Amino acid sequence: MFGAIEAGGTKFVCGVGSGPNDLKTCEIQTTSPECTAAAAVKFLHENSAWKLKAVGIGSFGPVDLRVDSPTYGFITSTPKTAWRNFDFAGTVRKALNLPVGFDTDVNAAALGEARWGAAQGISDLLYLTIGTGIGGGAIVGGRILHGLIHPEMGHIRVPHDLNRDPYRGCCPFHGDCLEGLASGPAIEQRWGVPGFNLPIVHPGWELEAHYLALGLANWVCTLSPRRILLGGGVMQQARLFPMVRSELTHLLNGYVRAREVMEDLDYYLIPPGLGTRSGILGAIALAEQAYQ
């Protein structure tokens, strides 16, 4: 039995269990790091009868994932000042005296999907969440891609035709990076209504599909994933999927000569299989890895 924490900026999801068919969860509002972490630890304690083998944490960020760093497992330069430099993994490890697996929320979700979701057995996977921000987690050769820090995929630059879309973008760092153009807040600012109130037939969806496809084309050319999962609030507009696939085909223009991309895009670019549980189940999978 493993413990899991999916740590978000507004709420924590905590879980104990061993997989999709054995998972008990609760939600905790995100307040101070001390109170929220203590409440999470309390839940794990009380619902595991002391049988936990390890804990996995998928956290909002930025986080320090360098295992050789003195601040490994810390939340680092977040705008949430109370959480800045909080030793998240260390606090949980000390409180429970258990191995702790620690990664970003989106990397955890990618791992969860590879373990139990829509990418089982896929060694090279890209998981994206399109919501308040745009985040990406990649699995390369069966392992989560880390590198220098963690990827910040939402912040790639893509073409922006100001004649078609005069909106300047909402990213405080980059203006019209992909996140600045295609995240949920960008949709809301551009059209004056949030995505879930935007009519099904509206040019905003064409534009959204265009930007997402530009990002996807770049990631296909860079990471060459074997499958791509698109989740997050914006993707709840299911009409986006065929539009993004069509636009991606147009952009790649036959260059990536793999059957999966040329013919089987309906199976290549799909929603996550675990619904809203990718992250918390990914945290269970992180705990599994920490235990092993």
The count of C-alpha atoms lying within 13 angstroms of the C-alpha of 99, restricted to the half-sphere facing its C-beta, is: 15
Question: Does 145 participate in binding its own copies (rule CB under 8 A)?
Answer: yes
End-to-end, the C-alpha distance of the chain in Å comes to 13
Residue 38 binds to its own copies (criterion: CB under 8 A)? no
Instruction: Dig out the tokens for 157 from the structure.
Output: 């630059």
Residue span binding its own copies (CB under 8 A) among the ranges 12-20, 28-36, 211-219, 273-281: 211-219
What's the DSSP call for residue 234?
A: G
CA–CA separation, 180 vs 88, rounded Å?
28
| Residue among 197 and 224 whose Cβ is closer to its own copies | 224
Q: How many residues bind to its own copies according to rule CB under 8 A?
A: 47
Q: Are 113 and 274 in contact (CB under 8 A)?
A: yes
| Min dist. Cβ of residue 60 to its own copies (A) | 15
Under the binding rule (CB under 8 A), the answer on residue 62 touching its own copies is yes
Nearest distance from C-beta of residue 291 to its own copies, angstroms: 20
- Residue nearer to its own copies on the CB measure, 29 or 246: 246
CB nearer to its own copies: pick between 162 and 200: 162
Three-state SS for 267? helix
Residue 155: both structure tokens together: 């912040």
Among 225, 231, 279, 282, binds its own copies (CB under 8 A): 225
Helices (H), the chain: 33-46, 88-96, 105-116, 178-182, 184-191, 203-223, 240-252, 259-262, 265-268, 278-291
- Residues that bind its own copies in the complex, under the rule CB under 8 A: 62, 76-77, 124, 136, 138, 140-141, 143, 145-160, 173-174, 214, 217-226, 251, 253-258, 260-261
